[in-house]
């Protein structure tokens, strides 16, 4: 998908991931007697993908209160939480910025006009003062000049107050904008970079002329379908989240940790020699192998869950696809040779 389409809903294109969602969405819609039309499908796609916490809360509330998913409800959910979320927030922020700038420009304009008028008036009064020899007339003109000076000072002070308020509001808007940007690059389940941000980051790193080695590590949870089938999709999600925390823990500060899709995660490692990429990946694999996850509800210990990892080192003629393909084939080798392995 072209990266400039940031206002479109962001969907994953992994076939296995979407098949997994499909298997959950249809029974869910049937069970709750919700029409499986494209709008409801989109709503429940996001609901199952858990990428949109506000949508999930809104849907949960409707379901808990046994409200029907009629045309109006579905449209409202779709418009509010899916199609227009990012567009609306960006438009709102733009509107607010425009308003603040207009207010600040008005305040500055008003002060400038006042200063010009005062300047004209001063010039005229100075000419009269120079020409008059009467003390009383001179004193009255001086009084007027003092008044006008005070009035100009008050206008300029009011402008200062307005500019300070505008500055504070711009700070707030800057923070809101940063938040919207953050949401656009974050994977809702794991908090890692999402696929779009991964693609963009990898392209940028490859385009940069760099003498240091860059490595890409791709990680996939072994027999994950079995985890879902045995413990359910929710536990599956928790396992993905746990693996994500391991990646964050072991990756270095300048690395980029992302959810590539479904149960496949990745670390882009700029300025990292291959032996270091292998060491980090091996540490992640080992910690996962040793971990014994427990189901929160009843403390049941899940069986051993392992991960396979493939590493590729960036070559001079690489593009993102060729680098990903090599890391993916190393991952495939790791799977083929028994899983729970790091291959490069």
Ligand X SMILES: Nc1nc2c(ncn2[C@@H]2O[C@H](COP(=O)(O)OP(=O)(O)OP(=O)(O)O)[C@@H](O)[C@H]2O)c(=O)[nH]1
Residues at the interface with ligand X (CB under 6 A): 16-17, 20, 220-226, 228, 233, 236-237, 240, 262-263, 335, 339
Q: Verify whether residue 263 is a known catalytic residue.
A: yes
Q: How many CA atoms lie within 13 A of 233 on its CB side?
A: 15
Q: CB 12 → ligand X: shortest distance, Å?
A: 8
Q: Between 58 and 305, name the residue whose CB sits nearer to ligand X.
A: 305
Contact by Cβ (8 Å): 78, 43: yes
Our CB check for ligand X shows the closer of 17 and 177 to be 17
Beta bridge partners of 312: 216
Minimum separation from the CB atom of position 294 to ligand X (A): 17
Residue with smaller CB distance to ligand X, 68 or 232: 232
Question: What own/partner pairs with CB < 8 Å and gap ≥ 24 does 295-300 have?
Answer: 295/231, 295/235
Taking the complex as a whole, the smallest distance from the CB of residue 16 to ligand X amounts, in Å, to 4
Q: Which two tokens stand for residue 270?
A: 């700029």
Minimum Å distance from CB 249 to ligand X? Answer: 20
Q: Are 17 and 203 in contact (CB under 8 A)?
A: no
Dihedral, CA of residue 61, residue 63, residue 68 and residue 70, to nearest 10: 70
Closest CB to ligand X belongs to which residue?
20
| Residue whose CB is less far from ligand X, 29 or 240 | 240
Name the strand (E) or helix (H) holding 343: strand 342-343
The nearer residue to ligand X, 27 or 109, going by C-beta atoms, is 27
Beta strands 342-343 and 215-221 are unpaired
C-beta of residue 62 within 8 angstroms of C-beta of residue 74: no
Kindly state the smallest distance separating residue 215's Cβ from ligand X, in Å.
22
Crossing angle of helices 195-207 and 135-185, in 10° steps, is 100
110 is written with which tokens? 């008003």
The one catalytic residue in 61, 169, 171, 263 is 263
Q: What is the DSSP string of 198-220?
A: HHHHHHHHHHS--SS--EEEEEE
Shortest distance (Å) from residue 326 CB to ligand X? 18
Q: Tell me phi and psi for residue 2, to 5 degrees.
A: -60, 140
Buried-state track 287-316, b at ≥16 Cβ within 10 A, e below 16: ebeeeebeeeeeeeebeebbbbbbbbbbee
Q: Which is nearer to ligand X, 222 or 313 (CB)?
A: 222
Q: Which residues are catalytic?
A: 263
């Amino acid at each position: 998908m072209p990266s400039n389409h940031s206002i479109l809903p962001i969907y994953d294109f992994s076939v296995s991931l979407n098949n997994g969602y499909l298997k959950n969405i249809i029974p869910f819609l049937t069970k709750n007697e919700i029409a499986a039309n494209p709008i409801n499908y989109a709503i429940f796609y996001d609901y199952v993908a858990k990428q949109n916490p506000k949508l999930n809360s809104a849907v949960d509330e409707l379901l808990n209160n046994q409200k029907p998913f009629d045309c109006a409800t579905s449209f409202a959910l779709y418009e509010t939480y899916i199609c227009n979320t990012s567009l609306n927030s960006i438009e709102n922020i733009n509107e607010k910025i425009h308003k603040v700038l207009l207010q600040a420009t008005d305040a500055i304009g008003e002060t400038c006009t006042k200063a010009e008028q005062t300047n004209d008036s001063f010039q005229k009064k100075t000419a009269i003062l120079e020409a008059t020899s009467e003390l009383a007339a001179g004193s009255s003109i001086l009084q007027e000049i003092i008044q006008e000076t005070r009035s100009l000072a008050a206008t300029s002070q009011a402008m200062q107050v307005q500019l300070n308020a505008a500055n504070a509001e711009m700070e707030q808007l800057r923070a809101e904008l940063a938040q919207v940007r953050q949401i656009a690059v974050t994977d809702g389940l794991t908090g890692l970079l999402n696929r779009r941000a991964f693609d963009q980051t990898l392209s940028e790193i490859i385009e940069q002329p760099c003498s240091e080695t860059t490595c890409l590590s791709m990680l996939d949870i072994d027999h994950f379908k079995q985890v879902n089938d045995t413990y359910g999709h929710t536990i599956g999600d928790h396992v993905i989240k746990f693996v994500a925390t391991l990646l964050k823990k072991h990756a270095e500060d300048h690395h980029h940790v992302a959810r590539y899709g479904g149960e496949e995660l990745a670390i882009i490692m700029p300025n990292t020699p291959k032996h270091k990429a292998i060491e980090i990946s091996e540490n992640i694999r080992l910690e996962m192998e040793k971990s014994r996850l427990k189901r929160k509800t009843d403390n049941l210990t899940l069986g051993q869950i392992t991960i396979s990892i493939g590493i590729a080192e960036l070559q001079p003629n690489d593009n993102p696809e060729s680098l990903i393909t090599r890391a993916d084939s190393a991952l495939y080798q790791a799977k083929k040779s028994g899983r729970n392995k790091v291959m490069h």
